[in-house]
Amino acid sequence: MFYVRVGQQSFVYTGDYNMTPDRHLGSANCDRLRPDLLITESTYATTIRDSKRCRERDLLRQVSECVREGGKVLIPVFALGRAQELCLLLDAFWERTGLDVPIYFSAGLTERANWYYKMFIGWTNQKIKNTFVKRNVFDFVHIRPFDRALVDTPGPMVLFATPGMLHGGLSSDVFKRW
């Protein structure tokens, strides 16, 4: 987010931002500004969605039903942001429910992004900072980097794979195989 003032005129320029906190990041926080002009990304500005809690509950129900029945779950994600939030969600769910099904995430960019989350815990929300005293929540208990040799492994598994749009790479390759 950039705030620029030239003389008596000002503007704010921002890309994507979120005013609702995630599992790992706080909400966007900015000073009370009264710009003359606001330039912002607005892809979902008019979208009305179910509550985040409902969407997460539905995802966890679908994933757990699938793997309990022996299925595989492919979750295409972008390497940074949503991937870590969903990893936190599933890792905590696996811990609570005792599910013994492997969860993997794409090696490479996602793995490097996870490393940065571990290193820069100060960028995360207060709940994660408080938990950090006991352990770094980005040291996932139930989630491991994925090796392509595992793609044909029989039995249930969950895979967070990039890219999120399935236009190529691991997510597309696995989608075609499974």
69 counts as catalytic: no
* 161: nearest Cα among 102, 100, 108: 108
Q: What is the DSSP letter of 105?
A: E
Choose the catalytic residue: 41, 65, 95, 111. Answer: 41
Cα angle 10-13-16, degrees, rounded to a multiple of 5:
155
Query: In the numeric block, which tokens belong to residue 65?
Result: 């039903």
Q: 41 Cβ partners below 8 Å, 6+ apart?
A: 14, 15, 16, 17
The catalytic residue positions are: 41
